[in-house]
Amino acid sequence: MRPSDELRQLVDDLALRLMVEDPAASAGSNFSGWIPALEKIRHGAAQESASAVGTTAEGIIATLGAGGGLSGEQAAAELQEGILRLQGAIEAASKAPAISESPENRLAQDPELLSDFILESREHLARIETQVLAVERDPCDSEALNSIFRGFHTMKGLAGFLELWDIQKLAHEVETVLDRARNFELKITPTAIDVILESADHLRRWVAHLEATLQQRPTDAPRQDSALLARIRTLTAAPDSPAAGDLAALAAAVEVKPLEGPPAPAAASDETSAPPETARAGRRGEAMAVKVDTAKLDYLVDMAGEMVIAESLVRHDPDLRTVKSQRLQRNMAQLMRITTELQKTAMAMRLVPIGPLFRRMARLVRDLSRQFGKQVEMVTEGDEIEIDRTIVEELADPLMHMVRNSLDHGIEPPPERLDKGKSPTARLLLRAHHQAGQVVIEIADDGRGLDREKILSKATQRGLVASGSGLSDNEIHNLIFEPGFTTAERVTNVSGRGVGMDVVRRHIEKLRGRIEIHSQAGCGTSFLLKLPLTLAIIDGLVVGVGKERFIVPLFAVREMFRPTEKILWSVQQRGEMALVRNALLPVFRLYRKFNMEPRSEDPCQSVLIVAEVEGNRFCMVVDELIGKQEVVIKSLGETFKSVAGIAGGAILGDGRVGLILDLERLFKDRTSETNR
C-alpha cells in the first residue's frame, strides 16, 4: 500500500522541525519532545501497513527512549539519521507497487529468490555461529569478527532487497554492534556473545518460517523480539567510559601481536589452532564452490559408470584380443586409467567435508556445558575428511545425542574431576579418519566412563539379562543400545529418557554403518561410528541363484562357507537351523522365497552366507559365490516398490542389471517362507 500524503506530511514536518530547532547545536535539549510526533508516524504507518516506515519510526523511538546513556550530540545524530531513514522509507514505499501487505505472501510469488535467500542465510548463520565461538575463545580474533560482520551485513542487504524488514532490522542492529567492536570501540563481552548468538537464533527462526511459508505450510511469523533489540541497543549504547581503558588495552594487544613476530602464531597454534584454520579453509572452499543440481550429478555418475562398463566390454572384445599391438595395449591401459579416474571423481563430487557438522556441535557443547556447570573443551580432528552429503545430514541427530550423553553422563563436574586428579576442564574429542575404505567418527570424552555395575543392575531390573555372570565388558556396554535403557536417576530435558542410544544405533545402521563403544572406568568413553564413504555405492557380494545373480550387501555378511550335513538341523521338518560357531542360526533358502529353480536342493552343494541385521544372525542358502564388486545403487522405481526383499538394482560388470537383496526385510519375512 502506498503511504498516504498525510504520512508523508508528518515525516516532512519532522525533518523541518529538525532543521529549525537544530538540537545538536543547543546542548541539553529534551529529546522526549520528539517522541509524540514519531509515535504519530508509527501509528499512521501501522494503519496504512507501511511496515518499513513503522519499523524505522519504532527504531528511533526506542533509541531515543532508551537513550538515557546517550549524550545530546549522539541523540541528535541518531535523530537526524533516523529521519533521513524515515524519508527514505517513505520514498521506497511509494515507489513499491501497491500489493499485499505481508512480506512472506508477496515473496511466495518469487519462490526462487526466496529459496536462494533461505539457502544463503543458512550458510551465513552457520558460519556466524562458528565464528562467534571463535571470538568467544579469543576476543582479539579480528578475522572472525569481520567474518561475523560480513555475515550479518549480507543478510541485512538481502533481506532489505526482499523487503523482509524484521530481518533487516535485527541484522542491522547486530551489525552496528559488530562494526563498533571491530573498530575497537566496543569490547566483546560474554553478554555480547550471548546477544549475537541469540540474534542468530532468532534469524534462524525467521528463515525456518520463510521456508515453511514457501512450502505452503503457514506458520506464525516469529515475533519481533523487542527485548532482544533493546539488549542489542544497550550494547551499542553502553557508555564508553568504563570500557575505554580496556579498549585501549585491547587495541594495544591487537597491535602488539604482529610485532611479536613468529612466536605469536606458534603460541596460538598450541591452543586454538584448529578453529581459525578450519574457518579459513571454509572460506577458501566457499570461493571455489559451485552449486550443482543433484540430478545432473547423478546423471554424470551414471554416465561415468556406463563408460567404465563400455570400456571393459571393448577391452575384453574377442576381436581385439587377436590384435597384438603394443601401441593398442598402451592406449587401452591409458583409457582404463582415465575412465577409472573419471568415475572416482564423479563419485567424489557427492562428498562434503565433515567439518561443518563438527562445528555445529561446538555450539551445543558451549550451551550444555554452561547449563550443567561443567568445563568442556571441544577438540576436532579430521575436519577435512569427506563423506556423503546425505550421511552428514543424517548424522547430525545421532551425533547430537552422543555429545549430550557425554556431557550429561560422561563428564564429571569440575570439583569431582579435581578430586580424581584430572584437569577441571574436560576434553571432548570429535575425530574423523579413514579406515579400510570407511570413515570412522570418534566421539571421545575423558569423563568417568561407563559404569559397568550400574548398567548391569539396570539391565537385570528391566529383565534384559538374567544375571551379570559371564558377560564380557563389551556385551555389557552394548546393553545401552537396548530400547528404553537408561541409567540416569532423573530425567532431564537433555537425557535420561532412554530414547537415546537405541535411536542412535538405528540411525547409524540405516546409514549402513556400525557403532562401537570403548570405555574404561574413570578414564572416559569413546564411541566409534564406522560409516561408508557414500550411500551411493556399496560393496556387494555377487551370488548366483538359479539363472539369476543377486548382490548381497557386504557390510551385513559375517562369513560364508559350504556347509556339511553335520551342522544342519531341522525342526519339525520345516524350520532349518545351522550350528555356526556354537550358535544355532536360522537358515533360509533364497530360491524358495523367490520361487526360483535352484541348481541343487542339497545345501551341501550350495553356499551358506551368515548375515547379521539389527544384531540378529541368520544363514542364507545360495547356489554359488561369483565375486565381490563395488556397485552403484539404483532405485528400481515405483513399479517395484512393493517387491519385498529387493533393495534396489545395480549395473554389474557385464552391463546387466543385478538385484540388491534387502536382508533386513528377508530376515523379517523368513517365517512366511518356512511356513509354506
Partner 1 sequence: MASTMLAVTEPAGAQTDVRAGKYLTFHLANEEFGIRVLKVREIMGLQEITAVPQTPCHIKGVINLRGKVVPVIDLRLKFGLPAAEYTQRTCIIVTQVQGESSAVLMGIIVDGVSEVLNLTAPEIEDTPDFGEDIAGRYLLGMAKVKGKVKILLDIDKVVSTQEIHGLNAILS
What is the smallest separation between the CB atom of 593 and partner 1, expressed in angstroms?
A: 8
Interface stretch with partner 1, choices 412-420, 454-462, 619-627, 655-663 (CB under 8 A): 655-663
Q: Draw the binding track, 614-643, toward partner 1 (x: CB under 8 A; -: no contact).
A: --------------------xxxxxxx-xx
Give the integer Cα–Cα distance in Å for 529 and 519.
14
Determine if 646 is a binding residue for partner 1 (CB under 8 A). Answer: yes
Q: Is residue 647 involved in binding partner 1 (CB under 8 A)?
A: no
Q: How far is the CB of 119 from partner 1 (least distance, A)?
A: 23
Q: Which is it for the CA torsion 588, 592, 598, 600, positive or negative?
A: positive
3-state class of 161 per DSSP?
A: helix
Q: Other CB atoms closer than 10 Å to residue 401's CB: what's the count?
A: 19
589 contacts 602 by C-beta, under 8 angstroms: no
| Greatest distance between any 2 Cα atoms in the chain | 108
Question: Of 565, 530, 551, whose CA–CA distance to 634 is shortest?
Answer: 551
Give the residue with the Cβ less far from partner 1, 34 or 591: 591
Burial class (CB in 10 A: 0-12, 13-18, 19+), 494: middle
Region 283-312 residues binding partner 1, contact defined as CB under 8 A: 302-303, 305-306
644 near partner 1, rule: CB under 8 A: yes
Instruction: Determine, following the binding rule CB under 8 A, whether residue 651 of this chain makes contact with partner 1.
Output: yes
Rounded to a whole number of angstroms, the minimum distance from the CB of residue 108 to partner 1 is 23
Beta carbon nearer to partner 1, 306 or 475:
306
Residue 445, H or E segment: strand 438-445
Give the total of residues touching partner 1 (CB under 8 A). 29
List the grid coordinates of 181.
Answer: 567492536
CB of 48 to partner 1, least distance (A): 45
The nearest distance, CB 260 to partner 1, in angstroms, is: 58
Instruction: Say how many residues make up the chain.
Output: 676
Q: Give the dihedral of Cα atoms 74, 35, 33, 231; nearest 10 deg.
A: -40
Distances (CA, A) of 315 to 305, 309, 323, 628, 655: 15, 10, 11, 20, 14
Provide the minimum distance between the beta carbon of 643 and partner 1 in the complex, in angstroms, as a whole number.
Answer: 6
Confirm or reject binding of residue 673 to partner 1 (CB under 8 A): no
Among 442, 617, 645, 670, binds partner 1 (CB under 8 A): 645
If you compute the radius of gyration of the chain from its CA atoms, what whole number of angstroms results?
A: 33
Asked if residue 655 binds partner 1 (CB under 8 A), the reply is yes
Q: Which stretch binds partner 1 (CB under 8 A): 212-220, 272-280, 620-628, 649-657?
A: 649-657
- Residue among 524 and 649 whose Cβ is closer to partner 1: 649
Binding of partner 1 by 657 (CB under 8 A): yes
Q: In what order do the strands lie in the sheet with 375-381?
A: 375-381, 425-435, 438-445, 524-532, 514-520
Q: Which of residues 102-121 bind partner 1 (CB under 8 A)?
A: none
Q: What share of the chain is helix, strand, coil (3-state, %, to 5)?
A: 55, 20, 25
Q: Half-sphere exposure of 220 toward its Cβ, with a 13 Å CA cutoff? A: 3
Instruction: Name which of residues 534 to 553 contact partner 1 (CB under 8 A).
Output: 548-549
**Least Cβ distance, residue 628 to partner 1 (angstroms):** 19
Q: Which is nearer to partner 1, 608 or 659 (CB)?
A: 659
Site string for partner 1, 491-530 (x = CB under 8 A): ----------------------------------------
Minimum Å gap between C-beta 340 and partner 1 is 16
Check if the beta carbon of residue 55 is closer than 8 Å to that of residue 46: no
Per CB under 8 A, 595 contacts partner 1: yes
Binding site for partner 1 (CB under 8 A): 302-303, 305-306, 548-549, 593-596, 634-640, 642-646, 649, 651, 655-659
